[in-house]
Structure 1
Amino acid sequence: MPADSDPSVLSTRFSTQDVPRERQLLAWRERVGHVVDVLPDNDQIARGFAGSIDLHAAGGLVFTEARTEAMVLERSIARVSTDTRRDFAFHVYAEGESGHVSGLNVKRSAPGSLRGIVAFDLNQRFRIERPACRVLTMFLPRSVVAVHIDDCDALHGRVVPENAPLARFVFQHFDATARELPTLKRPDAIDAFDAGAQLLLAAFADKPHALHDSRAALQAAVKKQVKRYVETHLHEADLTPTKIVDALGLKRATIYRWFEQEGGLGAYIRHRRLREAADELARFPNLQITDIAFGLGFKSASDFTRAFRRAFDVSPLEMRLRALDLLHAAANDPVMRMHAAHSRGVRGSG
């Protein structure tokens, strides 16, 4: 692969399922030991331990999805003093609860085990007695957190319960990110991570101007959520703005206002369908134009043709003929053939 090419998202997966039972908890301890210590006991080792973790990294941010049985995690002061981890870990408990957290250096009223979001400063000690759960974790560099949180040291151990402002959108965004990451290209993964980071920091921020930042982060994250839904359901005939806001549990008036620049949510859906139709006309020259139209939710061929001409100033048939002419010209152009051969060679060397 050439040095200037765009690398894919770094992804790894680990599960104790394929490890002998008596080694499962110790294998898990080795897997997460670069961040936190797992404190096992002999009974737990003998019983075995079920755990899996998917890790994705892109754009300087790291996102993990872990499913585990109950366990005890600790980051001791000795550990803090001997390693170099200084970033923040935000735990979003998608299933299960946070468990009992102790060992924090600052006084605060502990809410006990709950379903919510917990921030941990890896530059400080902590201990978690955690029940079985599914937890989505985002690691943010200290420099990024410090820009949004004045006293970021005081963030350690703070909890945002699931019913707090913005928390619902954090949960929705992280859950969608976990589902879609395996298929996302790197720019889309970076966008998803950035939106998640903005939402997290807005949820924890306590600055006077944080309300404006929160709204901006919320709008960016929710619009991405809506657009992902549109892409996933683009070929469904009953895809409508009403179906989207109902499926995602969003406020109709707010979403319609946020899509005003695109001409409204209905216009955005129509534009994406027409753009997809243009791509399919070029990619699949043997596919009937009516099949493309009906496959993208248009009620009739005439409705599709009128909408296509308004959007691109050509009919679907003219668009297809132009695309075929360009392909034939490229096939007969020796310079283009040489460039195509070179491109295939470069891709093959990656």
Structure 2
Amino acid sequence: MPADTDPPALSTRFSTQAFARERQLLAWRDRVGHVVDVLPDKEQIARGFAGSIDLHAAGGLVFTEARTEALVLERSIARVSTDTRRDFAFHVYAEGETGTVSGLRAKRSSPGSMRGIVAFDLNQRFRIERPACRVLTMFVPRAIVASQIGDCDALHGRVVPEDAPLARFLFEHFDATARELPALERPDAIDLLDAGAQLLLAAFADKPHALHDSRAALQSAVKAQVKRYVETHLHEADLTPMKIVDALGLKRATIYRWFEPEGGLGAYIRHRRLREAADELARFPNLQIADIAFGLGFKSASDFTRAFRREFDASPLETRLRALELLRAMNDDPVMRTRAAHSRGARESG
């Protein structure tokens, strides 16, 4: 399959519900044991443990979404000295708090349990007494962190509170990442993860060094937020640039400037509607072209046809006929039919 249609390189799902109650916490310890040790007690083992984790990896970055009951995690000096994990783990607490973090280097103390984002250097020891939470974690290679932050060792144990600059966009971006990543093809997954990593490093970097990087990361995250809003509301007739700006609480001039490479936000909306229309013409051959046009916010069939022809150099009817011819050719060709079935199966399994 071509690289641009590959799913994320790795996608796994794990839940302790598949195990007997007395095995649940031990199963969780086995699942995360390649990174951190879980310190259970007999009472905790006996009552069972609810935990789930979805993992996605692409482009050298790893993202996980975990939901767990309260637990104690530790990465000891002995562990650090015996394994090879040297990347950074950024914990974004979407629900719940950071818990009590200890075992860090001298002169560095945790500000106490709070809702925020914590950075851990897996080349250093730490211990977390964590309450029940939903935590989104990004694992970033050490080389990437070091390229953006001069003294990356000092990053270990630092906390960015939820009210800090960029934090709101980090929470929104990572929450959207958890929702959207499972369905994305490989290039889009890499872009989404890379934007998250850039935003994280900008939030943790010291000023004024991070000013340029933070602006770039913020622009990337906000544009992604706007694009997600467009996709969600694409079929609404009143979807306009002004409605998006107002709904997301953004500055109109800034957003309009950031979408200038796409011809402006209005042009971007129209482009996405036309691409969706082209897809629906092929997927729904019995649906009237006018119904597709009105369903995507066009005020008349003639306006839709003119815009469609400018975009694709073909009319909607011509595009539908070509799609139907291609579909018939695929159905008549066993090799093409097998390839199409394999492609659909690969996408669905991803």
Q: TM-score w.r.t. structure 2 length?
A: 0.89
Q: Which residue of 2 aligns with 1:286?
A: 286
SS of the equivalent of 1:8 reads: coil
Deviations 1:188-209 (A, max 9, x none): 1111100000000111111533
Instruction: Describe the shift of the 1:166–1:342 C-alpha distance in structure 2 as closer, same or farther (beyond 3 A).
Output: same
Alignment of 1:18-37 (within 5 A): 18-37=18-37
SS of the equivalent of 1:110 reads: coil
Maintained 8 Å contact 1:58/1:190? yes
1:136 paired to 2:132: no
Instruction: Describe the shift of the 1:140–1:304 C-alpha distance in structure 2 as closer, same or farther (beyond 3 A).
Output: same
Query: 1:191 is aligned with what amino acid?
Result: D
Q: Which residue of 2 aligns with 1:43?
A: 43
Q: Which runs of 5+ in 1 are unaligned?
A: none
SS of the equivalent of 2:34 reads: coil
Q: Which residue of 2 aligns with 1:340?
A: 336
1:83 paired to 2:79: no
Instruction: Describe the shift of the 1:331–1:38 C-alpha distance in structure 2 as closer, same or farther (beyond 3 A).
Output: closer
Shift of 1:109: 4.7
Distance 1:222 1:51 in 2: 32
Query: 2:298 is aligned with what amino acid?
Result: F
Deviations 1:291-316 (A, max 9, x none): 11012111222332233344445443
Identity %: 82
Maintained 8 Å contact 2:7/2:184? no
Which stretch of the first structure deviates more once superposed, 235-244 or 192-201?
235-244
Deviations 1:106-148 (A, max 9, x none): 4235311111110000010000111111100000111111100
Query: 1:302 is aligned with what amino acid?
Result: S
Distance 1:36 1:262 in 2: 44
Q: How many residues are paired up?
A: 344
SS of the equivalent of 1:237 reads: coil
SS of the equivalent of 2:253 reads: helix
Q: Which residue of 1 aligns with 2:95?
A: 95
1:196 paired to 2:192: no
CA root-mean-square deviation: 2.6
Shift of 1:11: 1.1
Shift of 1:331: 3.7
Which stretch of the first structure deviates more once superposed, 243-252 or 50-59?
243-252
Which stretch of the first structure deviates more once superposed, 138-147 or 300-309?
300-309
Alignment of 1:158-177 (within 5 A): 158-177=158-177
Q: Which residue of 2 aligns with 1:107?
A: 107
Shift of 1:29: 1.0
1:8 paired to 2:7: yes
Maintained 8 Å contact 1:298/1:304? yes
Q: Which residue of 2 aligns with 1:126?
A: 126
Q: TM-score w.r.t. structure 1 length?
A: 0.89
Query: 2:181 is aligned with what amino acid?
Result: L
